[in-house]
Structure 1
Amino acid sequence: MTANLHDARFKLEEAAFHIELLYLIQKSGASITHIGNLEKEASYLFSAILNAFYSVTEICGSKTSMQVRNFKNLYPLIYSRSEKGGLRNTSVHVRHIQVENNIYAKPAKGTVVLRFGVSPKLSMPDFTHGVVKLRFEKVFHIEIDNELLAIAEFCNEHLKQLTDFVDSVCRNDATGI
């Protein structure tokens, strides 16, 4: 499992890399390629992130592995077949998934969303001690069943879940459980 663990961690890092780029273009509002279209770039990054997630599950165990199958079943929005709404399968085999950035997605009433993650390295601001800046920014999102899904947060959250899964599978393999 050591080689698989190394490969799984590499793919987790790949997903983290693409998520950081997604946050960068979301935060800066500036294109990072000659394509010059933020929504296209976000779409490409989203597809790459979904593929990295899928690769991790494939590396962790064969398609018949009960642990992997159970994990994938917990997250059908990512891992299901396209006809069942699976985003990864849809983006690879069926059609482009439209990513948009044209509105500020308001949180539910009474909800405040604060992101305390590390800023993308390329956009690290100069910090002034004792000053807090609140930014209200547009976020990249897709529409699922008439609901907006903020993709950077969605991917970041799933990266944490997938990392925990990899740690769990590897721990079980190491102890023979």
Structure 2
Amino acid sequence: MNHIDRLLHRLRRLGIWAIAIWLGGSGPVQALAPLIAAGELIGVSGLEIEGRRYEIRFADGSFNALYPEGFSGYGSLARAAAESLRAAGNALTGTPPAGRLQLAGCRSAQSCTILIPERSAGTVPQAHLSHAVEAIYAGDLVRSVPAELWPFDAATDTGAMPDMLYAILTPTGE
């Protein structure tokens, strides 16, 4: 291979890399950041849901205590949030430094159910029943999102349930 052929070969290789970088950078950017406190996953920021970025925090409590007054659910955003958590895969938690990364508020060794309220009978603080999309978290991943909604007493505190907690969504404006 002469000098010109080697140069053309290198330019082609650089061109392929440039195209790959350009194509990779032209899609939606997932700037996911796990939110970790005291060695537990307390949420995730930068999750894209229905074209907007959100922060999701996990919390124990009752529907009527955790959400703002007048809240009745996230509507279709609830299922989209659960599916976005599932699609995030390993990007959600990365690799924990030592063993399994536990969800804050989850005390089950097998799995936890993240409740994302879709709608409720009544509004906070007077709701009677909430219907939530479930995101099943096991082994550092959201493994499934069942099709059925989970009916849940709006006054029940998930703090007394070792395998359930709520998700609170906040738009980040990114």
Computing the radius of gyration from Cα coordinates, the structure with the larger value is 2
Say which structure is richer in helix. 1
Give the TM-score, by structure 1 length. 0.29
Give the TM-score, by structure 2 length. 0.30
Say which structure is richer in strand. 2
